[in-house]
Chain A
Amino acid sequence: MHSALLAIDLFFVIEKLVLIVAIVSISLVIAMYETYAERKVAAFIQDRRGPNRAGPFGLLQPLADGLKLFMKEEIIPNTSNRFLFILGPCLAMLAAMMTSAVIPWGGKINFFGREVNLQIADINIGILYVFGVVSMGVYGIMIGGWASNNKFSLMAALRGASQVISYELPMGLSLIALLMLTGSLKMSEIVGQQLDSWYNVFYQPLGFFIFFVCAFAECNRTPFDLPEAENELNFGYHQEYSSMKLGFYLFAEYINMFISSVVMATLFFGGYDIPFINDANLTQSVGVNLMALFQGLSLIIKVVIFIFIFMWVRWTIPRFRYDQLMNLGWKGLIPLSLINMIVTAALVLLKNNGWKF
């Protein structure tokens, strides 16, 4: 009996380890090719061609960029706090990667008679966990900027911290409205509810819009890239960083973009659900494993569309001024999300009391 327990545990550990390694490497590869896609999209929007020399269509460009970053000299400023200086990019990367733990990447797969859930941790406070980790991401910026011992970095860290904190509020409020509809914080259940019914975005269009805008701010992407603001802070919080530590910061931004796209797709666009198709019927005809593959692909396609929108917006809209950013956050989005929340709450209450609509 003892050995049986141990065996089950071992399988569980292996299964989760494999999942973790797979998901981490997939998100790293996607982030890598996001840098390529970003350059291509930027080039196409500006009537250029973008990287096309390294490999076919320039597909090896991210590898070349990575190699370049690794080969660069690693400089730690004399006056910086060494420990915090190194901790900064680590935290940024860690926070970016950790969110992927609660995302359901597909349905179940059948692996030699063992049912494997394509989700690292199906915890019942999934969204809360996402929020906790995302707000930890600001420490990467803050610690890095502060430890650099440079006034521009400090300014950037200040801006980054206040921006992320201000935009987390409307983000959370818009999600509360969504949670009142779903009645669960569990990611897998939110996806499950959307599987064969309308996506949440149709019930919460305003909520989605607010979440979308806030996601831009949380990722420090243009139009909200004030912490970087090349022309005002000459690079912002990662000005003193070089080599792969700089690479980590840049990379963390792309992983954040990927993860927030995944979260948006999961919460509002049905996650791994394949649109216009009855999932249960398709599962019966193609089998569980193939179905999980289709579902994963469907999620990735949704994510790619979101990432494209992220880039499209970046190369269209100029940066906000700091006061405009704060005005939009506190006077625009927070009241809007509060109204959205109250209206949703009223409707949910009426529906629960037997109103028909």
Chain B
Amino acid sequence: MQALTNRAKPVDRKPMTVVEKLYMWSIAKGMLITLKHLFKKKATISYPEEKRPFSPVFRGLHILNRDEDGRERCTACGLCALACPAEAITMEAAERLPGEENKYREEKYAAKYEINMLRCIFCGLCEEACPKDAIYLSETFAPSNYQRKGFIYGKEDLLIPSPKENPGEYAKAIGNRKANSN
């Protein structure tokens, strides 16, 4: 058989000498190894106080975006739902009424927008499919819940806080991402 790495060593089946049979040397070697580990840097991170940074391409919970005036960007075109391989997105469209121009950016908007976080595989295809830059994946992940229905996120869970009414919350939700980038 051809060796793959050239690091393979044949097993040594020589009978042990008397000194080896005492195991004292091997035990001392093992004890030294564990003693060294006693003083090594710990691999653990104290989680709630210290957090591991996410990768810049991390895909977490979805956020429904607003434009700079605080109007919802989503027009309920349904492309995200179509793109979704897990079929986690459902929506219902509605027409914007006169006087709602400050709430919705275009004439059509999503009256209901639900994402089932148990179905979602966080692939980010909805983000790519969206022509209006209305949905993107944030840097948080879904918190645990006792019931399945807690994982069906409606519009109130997904919408980003308005940059006009609540700029502080908005900045927090945006995180390190650039908002409204096209």
Residue positions of A touching B, CB distance < 8 A: 41, 44-49, 52, 312-313, 315-317
Contacts and interface: CB of A to CB of B under 8 A. Distances in A.
B37 interface: yes
Contacts of A316: 27, 30-31, 33-34
A317 B37 contact: no
Interface stretch (B40-48, B64-72, B101-109, B152-160): B40-48
27 contacts: A41-B38, A44-B37, A44-B38, A44-B42, A45-B34, A45-B38, A47-B37, A47-B41, A47-B42, A47-B43, A47-B44, A48-B43, A48-B44, A49-B42, A49-B46, A52-B46, A312-B31, A312-B34, A312-B35, A313-B31, A315-B34, A316-B27, A316-B30, A316-B33, A316-B34, A317-B27, A317-B30
Contact of B44 (A45, A49, A315): A49
Contacts of B27: 316-317
Q: Which of A48, A52, A316, A317 has the most CB of B within 10 A?
A: A316
Contacts of A48: 42-44
The 8 A-B pairs of least Cβ separation, nearest first, read A316-B34, A49-B44, A45-B34, A47-B43, A316-B30, A44-B38, A45-B37, A48-B44
A47 B36 CA distance: 10
Question: For the complex, would chain B's binding face be called helix, strand, loop or mixed by DSSP majority?
Answer: helix
A313 to B, nearest CB: 7
A49 B33 CA distance: 18
Interface string B10-34: 0000000000000000010011011
B33 to A, nearest CB: 8
Contacts of A45: 34, 37-38
A313 B27 CA distance: 9
A53 B62 CA distance: 33
Contacts of A46: 37
Given A44-B42, A47-B43, A316-B34, 10 more contacts: A44-B37, A45-B34, A46-B37, A47-B42, A48-B42, A312-B35, A313-B31, A316-B31, A317-B27, A317-B30
A312 B27 CA distance: 12
Nearest to A47: B43
A48 B46 CA distance: 10
B38 to A, nearest CB: 5
A315 B33 CA distance: 11
Nearest to B33: A316
A44 B27 CA distance: 19
Nearest to A49: B44
Nearest to B37: A45
Nearest to A46: B37
Nearest to B21: A332
Interface string B119-146: 0000000000000000000000000000
A45 to B, nearest CB: 5
Of B30, B33, B38, B43, chain A has the most CB atoms within 10 Å of the CB of B38
A108 B41 CA distance: 45
A312 B34 CA distance: 8
Nearest to A41: B38
Nearest to B40: A47
A174 B75 CA distance: 88
B25 to A, nearest CB: 13
A189 B31 CA distance: 35
Contacts of B30: 316-317
A286 to B, nearest CB: 35
Contacts of B34: 45, 312, 315-316
Contacts of B37: 44-47
B114 to A, nearest CB: 38
A45 B38 CA distance: 5
Contacts of B44: 47-49
Contacts of B35: 312
